[in-house]
A and B are shown apart, each in its own frame.
Chain A
């Protein structure tokens, strides 16, 4: 009898934890929105929603690539440096027109991703180390190309940065479109299946005859490309290229978004909806603290606590 009740309570606990991890992030976002609606003046306005959405767009795009890397049981620490490299390339090639410049910037990100992927897939370097090396080198390269801040005055980039359709900014549309595309790839394509299988167990995937190396390389190339797009978007919004500071600590924000969204660091599972919600959650948290005149130092301490709490919750489920 007692054994049975014990088991039941254990099961309940497991179920609660599972629910918490799967839907906790959405609950968190809802709670934060409610708190802000009640406490923050002028929170419910189209203008404010637009501002928040535009601010979250770069983190969200970077987090999409990060979710793929983490799903394959890897990590991509180079994303912030890729953003810096992308903004440098963009402002250098803007003379050839905005399309060419964006293309060059994205290709630059893909090259860094290819280097990451090759180190990981062919040489067998741990992802954290490989992407660390490219993180150091990428930031250096960005600064070599463009040593200091440069204003970006281009009508095309200005439209991208501040234009909108039906009241929705272009930047937000791009971020949402990319999120839908990545979610489709993860759920509905062979590549998505292979990615999750590799994240679950690389040796098993290898034995099953999956193209492990190709999938891993594509994952890091995509992550690099997405980080480069985020760099372009951030540049358009700020109307300036600043390779010194653009994207610093971006890897941390992106990892937080992914982990808070319920994707376990142990790989084999990718939750794109959760990742998007995770990015929104962090943005709302920061905005709430700033709106109530709490200093930035508090925001960072709060973010540190949220990360640890999210990873802790993920751990509980991972064990079961």
Chain B
């Protein structure tokens, strides 16, 4: 995608009279796009290095495993969010859809693993589908539709759990619980599932026609429509995908915790959006990549872990740091984006 956007810019540059050395321009262009793509990875490596030097308990197996599993659920939510944001949209409903998925999975687990997986996927996918239809067909603003969907999901969650007073538990001998508890090569199953989903997501985004449509719709909707891309269908698909991802993450989380906790998921939409943006995906759409979102999630979780390690610091500092971090990344991206356009 990088080459797609830089090439025309470079050509314009060459054509314009009185321009600087094209050689220099391309190099700073390359630097700009490098910073945009790998800035988060560098920050993650630096954070990990600093953390492992400062805290003996950071690089222990237990701590790493803990971080990996707790990242897994957010990562799956962020995966769906990445598709949505690349089309230039946003999905604010994922936090409560995640919680709803967990509650439905825990409730359904008494009827077998199949119900525990299919019920949350069906309901959460349906919420995503309705979001997509309202956004693509009725042309309503994504943030307001998904805010309303967030309320809807919360309302459904409350009515399923007798206004939040019932917590459904997953029987620990059930196959469904093993999905969250079992380990493969010493690493929890949720982590493996997440890795597999990210591989699949990256493949779809990079190599499939649908992936190309996602970029095209986010880059320029009108141009995409003129090219013959199915704009409405692509949008409906990404919001449905986001609903499915959030529901699945909720179900996996319920299997891991062995209960459908009703108060989870608050603020998760913000974490997921932060992770995607920190990973280099532009909120204006048309540019982004799956691997960046994974790096973004890991970075947020490492920051959280470090703040927990310091101990004397209240966990509220984590929110301050993530908010400030998000602001910094967005400032940097806006600046880099403007530079690209000017070059």
On A, residues with C-beta under 8 Å from B are 75, 115, 119, 123-126, 128-130, 132-144, 147, 248-249, 252, 255, 259, 265, 295-301, 303-305, 307-308, 311-312, 315
Chain B positions 181 through 211: 1 when the CB is less than 8 Å from some CB of chain A, otherwise 0? 0000000000000000000000000000000
Residues in A with CB closer than 8 Å to B159 are 295, 297-298, 301
Per the bound structure, the CA–CA distance linking A281 and B314 in Å amounts to 40
In the complex, what residue of chain A is closest to B140 when comparing beta carbons? A311
- Given known A128-B90, A133-B326, A308-B134, contact A144–B320 (CB-CB < 8 A): yes
Q: Are A265 and B144 in contact (CB under 8 A)?
A: yes
Residues in B with CB closer than 8 Å to A303 are 148, 151
Of the stretches B3-11, B47-55, B232-240, B327-335, the one at the interface is: B327-335
Residues in A with CB closer than 8 Å to B323 are 133-138, 140
- Given known A135-B323, A140-B320, A296-B163, contact A312–B138 (CB-CB < 8 A): yes
Does B316 belong to the interface (CB within 8 Å)?
yes
**Chain B contact residues (Cβ within 8 angstroms of A): what range?**
35 or more
Leading 3 A-B pairs by shortest Cβ distance: A137-B323, A140-B319, A143-B316
Chain B positions 299 through 343: 1 when the CB is less than 8 Å from some CB of chain A, otherwise 0? 000000000000000101111111110110011001100100000
Residues in B with CB closer than 8 Å to A265 are 141, 144
Q: Separation in Å of the A302 CB from the closest CB of chain B? A: 8
Q: Are A130 and B158 in contact (CB under 8 A)?
A: no
In the complex, what residue of chain A is closest to B317 when comparing beta carbons? A144
The 8 Å CB contact of B145, one of A125, A137, A308, is A308
Q: Is the interface of A mostly helix, strand, loop or mixed?
A: helix
The 8 Å CB contact of A304, one of B149, B158, B319, is B149
Q: Are A128 and B319 in contact (CB under 8 A)?
A: no
Interface hub of B138, B157, B284, B327 (most chain A Cβ within 10 A): B327
Residues in B with CB closer than 8 Å to A304 are 148-149, 151-152, 155
In the complex, what residue of chain B is closest to A124 when comparing beta carbons? B334
- Given known A119-B327, A128-B143, A311-B140, contact A140–B151 (CB-CB < 8 A): no
- Given known A130-B327, A132-B270, A301-B155, contact A311–B314 (CB-CB < 8 A): no
Does B121 belong to the interface (CB within 8 Å)?
no
Which residues of chain B from 125 to 139 have a CB within 8 Å of any chain A CB?
A: 134, 138-139
Per the bound structure, the CA–CA distance linking A259 and B331 in Å amounts to 29
Residues in B with CB closer than 8 Å to A307 are 144, 147-148, 151
In the complex, what residue of chain A is closest to B273 when comparing beta carbons? A132
Q: Are A311 and B334 in contact (CB under 8 A)?
A: no
Residues in B with CB closer than 8 Å to A299 are 155
Q: Are B149 and A137 in contact (CB under 8 A)?
A: no
Interface hub of B163, B317, B319 (most chain A Cβ within 10 A): B319
In the complex, what residue of chain A is closest to B325 when comparing beta carbons? A133
Residues in A with CB closer than 8 Å to B283 are 126, 128-129
Q: Are A133 and B163 in contact (CB under 8 A)?
A: no
Q: Separation in Å of the B259 CB from the closest CB of chain A? A: 20
Residues in A with CB closer than 8 Å to B298 are none
Q: Are A300 and B316 in contact (CB under 8 A)?
A: no
Does B274 belong to the interface (CB within 8 Å)?
yes
Residues in A with CB closer than 8 Å to B157 are 297
Residues in A with CB closer than 8 Å to B251 are none
In the complex, what residue of chain B is closest to A309 when comparing beta carbons? B148
Q: Are B155 and A297 in contact (CB under 8 A)?
A: yes
Q: Are A137 and B327 in contact (CB under 8 A)?
A: yes
- Given known A143-B314, A296-B158, A300-B151, contact A136–B138 (CB-CB < 8 A): no
Q: Are A311 and B330 in contact (CB under 8 A)?
A: no
Per the bound structure, the CA–CA distance linking A308 and B90 in Å amounts to 16
Per the bound structure, the CA–CA distance linking A255 and B334 in Å amounts to 26
Chain B positions 86 through 110: 1 when the CB is less than 8 Å from some CB of chain A, otherwise 0? 0000100000000000000000000
Q: Are A133 and B318 in contact (CB under 8 A)?
A: no
Q: Separation in Å of the B149 CB from the closest CB of chain A? A: 7
Chain B positions 255 through 288: 1 when the CB is less than 8 Å from some CB of chain A, otherwise 0? 0000000000011001001100100000110000
Q: Are B158 and A300 in contact (CB under 8 A)?
A: yes
In the complex, what residue of chain B is closest to A302 when comparing beta carbons? B155
Q: Are B156 and A297 in contact (CB under 8 A)?
A: yes
Residues in B with CB closer than 8 Å to A298 are 155, 159
Task: Known A-B contacts: A125-B334, A128-B283. Give 16 more (CB < 8 A).
Answer: A119-B331, A130-B327, A134-B323, A136-B323, A137-B324, A147-B314, A255-B144, A259-B144, A265-B141, A296-B163, A299-B155, A300-B155, A301-B155, A308-B140, A308-B145, A311-B144
- Given known A136-B319, A140-B323, A301-B155, contact A123–B143 (CB-CB < 8 A): no
Interface hub of B134, B159, B318 (most chain A Cβ within 10 A): B159
Q: Separation in Å of the A266 CB from the closest CB of chain B? A: 9
Residues in B with CB closer than 8 Å to A143 are 314, 316, 319
Q: Separation in Å of the A46 CB from the closest CB of chain B? A: 31
Q: Are B151 and A301 in contact (CB under 8 A)?
A: yes
Per the bound structure, the CA–CA distance linking A265 and B147 in Å amounts to 14
10 contacts between A and B (CB under 8 A): A128-B283, A136-B274, A136-B323, A140-B319, A141-B319, A143-B316, A265-B141, A301-B155, A312-B138, A315-B139
Per the bound structure, the CA–CA distance linking A304 and B156 in Å amounts to 11
